Homo-oligomer: A and B are copies of this chain.
Amino acid sequence: MNDVAAAAGVALKTVSRVVNNEPGVNASTAERVHAAIESLGYRRNDGARTLRRGRTASIGLVIEDVADPFYSGLSRAVEDIALAEGCLVFTGSSGEDPARERELVLAFCARRVDGLIIVPAGTDHDYLTPEVEAGIAAVFADRPPGAGPDADTVVCDNAGGARAGTEHLLAHGHRRIAFLADAPSIFTAAERLRGYREALATAGLPYDEGLVAMGRPDQARVLADLRRLLRLADPPTALFTGNGQITVATLRALAGTAGPAPVRQAPSSGPVAIIGFDDFEPADLLGITVIAQDPAGMGRAAAELLFRRLSGESGPPQRLELPTRLVVRGSGERPPA
């Protein structure tokens, strides 16, 4: 900027004015400055600008894994809104590791992002309190924060969705419905379990722990649990799977593309009914009935909340609960064998 000023024969401040389109610069002067900028290939240093002005025009987004379609949909929505607000986005994947979540968040804070959107991996967010007090806005998405500062939160109606899915299976005559999901320490999994139990209770059915399998969402665990479930003396006639990854893993296990030995269902029974929480790309091709949520909608809602805070809106923290939608495609409408 100094060089530009020298080249144009004006003061530093005048260049600054031109660069920022501030009024009160003579047209011919501005012309000279523009010429100098052009010829020197000058580009404003936004880092210095940020230092001086206090706002960085950037936000941090911490999700579980960008490579998961659910979170990448959410990411894209956040990005779009941020760009429209003239804001850039730092993205980081925590991989469900609280330490990495913390590391990322604090690194973003050290960069003085204006705000954060966080899908919490850990349950302790006390480390955020000083940052929030220092003026960094935070919005939690998909899961509420654990201990820590009160902040806006966007979740989906996990329990309601699970209830609807379970009720749908019940309505089709199923009485033995297995529930396969993430570890119960994860908020969404716990909530979905709650919805499942509520639906059973409302229908007057007992809650059988033997039909519930929660844990890591990887193929091996799902395969083992599914094998156990289908070998029960009184096996389930329907499965409710607790997220997209687990649904796919389950389908793989059933199709026999998962491991050395395919999971065999009792020979007497027909194909098991299945409903999955979360829609996934070609669920329609596979004819899988799902409880769909809207990742992009969640990203939009979180980003909108954040930017509302950034533009000065105060008031108590909000908690938004987005609805889910039952999408009927066949797999959830098979009758019990």
Contacts and interface: CB of A to CB of B under 8 A. Distances in A.
Contacts of A134: 41, 43
Given A252-B285, A280-B281, A46 B111 contact: yes
B66 A72 contact: yes
Interface in A64-78: 65-69, 72-73, 75-76
B56 A67 contact: no
A92 interface: yes
Nearest to A107: B88
Oligomer: number of copies: 2
A116 B93 CA distance: 19
**Best-surrounded residue of A79, A112, A285 (most CB of chain B within 10 A):** A285
A76 to B, nearest CB: 4
Interface stretch (A47-55, A198-206, A234-242, A266-274): A47-55
B67 A73 contact: yes
Interface string A124-137: 00000011011000
A106 interface: yes
Contacts of A109: 43
Size band of the interface chain A makes with B? 35 or more
A50 B248 CA distance: 44
A243 to B, nearest CB: 14
The 10 A-B residue pairs with the shortest CB-CB distance, nearest first, are A72-B72, A41-B130, A67-B76, A91-B91, A46-B110, A66-B75, A257-B284, A66-B76, A46-B111, A67-B73
24 contacts: A41-B130, A41-B133, A41-B134, A46-B107, A46-B110, A48-B51, A51-B51, A66-B72, A66-B91, A67-B76, A68-B72, A72-B75, A76-B93, A83-B92, A83-B104, A89-B92, A248-B281, A251-B282, A252-B282, A252-B285, A280-B282, A281-B281, A282-B286, A286-B286
